[in-house]
């Protein structure tokens, strides 16, 4: 007998809740943020062929679907509370569903959050998650807080996901072990929730790097009504990416996307607090530039020479 819609939900996506007041099974979930806290809410959709390849392992897809949403909470300095899952799939494939649920719930358990509702239907493979978090009233990290003189930082390393994509496209080739390393970056990104929490009260603005470092920085500059200078050779990259031709290194680090690292600003006097936040979260943070009063984006190399800005960022209707 084929698996029905409600059997599917009951078998793979229903678990007891401890934090939520009411979880899966009713018309609405009930969440109760602590007194003095605001709800932070974000939704992201992942479409097969657009956001992920058909060859991705189901457990990695489940991980990534939740990770990219948690990354948005991290960029706001919000602590995760729970999430909903709405998806369509061509058929009720139990091997796929078991892997998807396993990868998703493994990451959920790492962050102590629960699936509290959603929807499912038949159709092209498409996952849409909504995450809920809490942040002290007035304490959220926003894109609009960057000020002239602030230092510009990014967490971890960037560019590996784009490098893996180019291997899939056949543009580049990597030895097996190196490809496996960058493929993990593409398929199992790590949301920087702990760093986002540690940066509350320190960072003046923040955004997660999803569509490319320069493109996402552009959102901060626009909302903050400032400009920036970026030292392109200081942008952190993995050893695998650093072994590629310089042009590919810059393309991947500056315009690659799908990194889900945090790009943030902080006052120069808070440099040690920024480093301490990185240490407490277990992730490296690297200064890559400076916020300036003059609008626009200026790129310079290690010698201080200008670098032509020809790097784009991902746009669903222009890419």
Q: Identify the band that residue 316 occupies on the pLDDT scale cut at 50, 70 and 90.
A: very low
- Position 17 pLDDT exceeds 90: no
The more confident residue out of 33 and 157 is 157
When mean pLDDT is compared over 16-20, 120-124, 259-263, the highest value belongs to 259-263
Q: Identify the band that residue 317 occupies on the pLDDT scale cut at 50, 70 and 90.
A: very low
pLDDT for 27? 65
Find the range with the poorest average confidence among 44-48, 55-59, 185-189. 44-48
Q: Are the C-beta atoms of residues 98 and 12 closer than 8 Å to each other?
A: yes
- Position 319 pLDDT exceeds 60: no
pLDDT for 54? 75
Q: Are the C-beta atoms of residues 29 and 84 closer than 8 Å to each other?
A: yes
Mean pLDDT of 46-60: 83
What's the rounded Cα separation, in Å, for the pair 220 and 214? 10
Q: Are the C-beta atoms of residues 43 and 140 closer than 8 Å to each other?
A: no
The more confident residue out of 148 and 49 is 148
Mean pLDDT of 149-159: 98
Q: Are the C-beta atoms of residues 129 and 80 closer than 8 Å to each other?
A: no
The more confident residue out of 319 and 67 is 67
- Position 314 pLDDT exceeds 60: no
The more confident residue out of 268 and 31 is 268
The pLDDT mean for the chain works out to 91
Tokens describing residue 244: 């590629």
C-alpha distances in angstroms, 101 versus 9, 41, 67, 93?
A: 10, 22, 13, 12
What percent of the chain has pLDDT above 90? 76
C-alpha distances in angstroms, 105 versus 62, 66, 72, 238?
A: 8, 9, 18, 28
pLDDT for 18? 75
208-249 tens-digit pLDDT: 999 999 999 999 999 999 999 999 999 999 999 999 999 999
Tokens describing residue 249: 């290194």
Q: Identify the band that residue 6 occupies on the pLDDT scale cut at 50, 70 and 90.
A: confident
Q: Identify the band that residue 13 occupies on the pLDDT scale cut at 50, 70 and 90.
A: confident
254-306 tens-digit pLDDT: 999 899 999 999 999 999 999 999 999 999 999 999 999 999 999 999 888 99
The more confident residue out of 3 and 89 is 89
pLDDT for 189? 96
pLDDT for 315? 45
Mean pLDDT of 148-159: 98
What's the rounded Cα separation, in Å, for the pair 212 and 263? 11
The secondary structure element, H or E, covering residue 289 is: strand 285-292
């Amino acid at each position: 007998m084929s698996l029905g819609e409600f059997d599917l939900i009951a078998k793979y996506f229903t678990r007891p809740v401890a934090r939520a007041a009411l979880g899966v099974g009713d018309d609405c979930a009930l969440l109760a943020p602590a007194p003095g806290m605001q709800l932070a809410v974000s939704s992201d959709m992942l479409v097969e062929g657009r956001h992920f390849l058909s060859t991705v392992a189901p457990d990695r897809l489940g991980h990534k679907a939740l990770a990219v949403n948690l990354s948005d909470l991290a960029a706001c300095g919000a602590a995760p509370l729970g999430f909903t899952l709405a998806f369509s799939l061509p058929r009720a494939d139990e091997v796929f569903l078991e892997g998807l649920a396993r990868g998703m719930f493994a990451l959920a358990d790492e962050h102590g959050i629960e699936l509290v509702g959603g929807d499912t239907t038949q159709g092209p493979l498409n996952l849409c998650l909504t995450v809920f978090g809490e942040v002290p009233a007035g304490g959220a990290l926003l894109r609009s807080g960057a000020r002239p003189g602030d230092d510009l930082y990014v967490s971890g390393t960037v560019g590996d996901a784009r490098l893996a994509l180019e291997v899939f496209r056949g543009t580049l080739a990597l030895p097996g072990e190196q490809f496996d390393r960058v493929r993990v970056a593409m398929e199992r990104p790590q949301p920087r929730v702990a760093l986002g929490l540690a940066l509350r009260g320190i960072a003046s603005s923040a955004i997660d790097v999803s569509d490319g470092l320069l493109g996402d920085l552009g959102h901060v500059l626009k909302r903050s009504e400032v400009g920036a200078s970026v030292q392109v050779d200081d942008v952190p990259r993995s050893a695998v990416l650093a072994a590629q031709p310089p042009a590919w290194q810059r393309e991947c680090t500056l315009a690659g996307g799908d990194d889900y690292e945090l790009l943030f600003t902080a006052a120069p006097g808070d440099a040690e607090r920024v480093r301490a936040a990185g240490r407490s979260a277990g992730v490296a943070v690297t200064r890559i530039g400076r916020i300036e009063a003059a609008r626009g984006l200026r790129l310079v190399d290690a010698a201080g020479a200008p670098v032509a800005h020809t790097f784009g960022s991902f746009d669903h209707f222009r890419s």
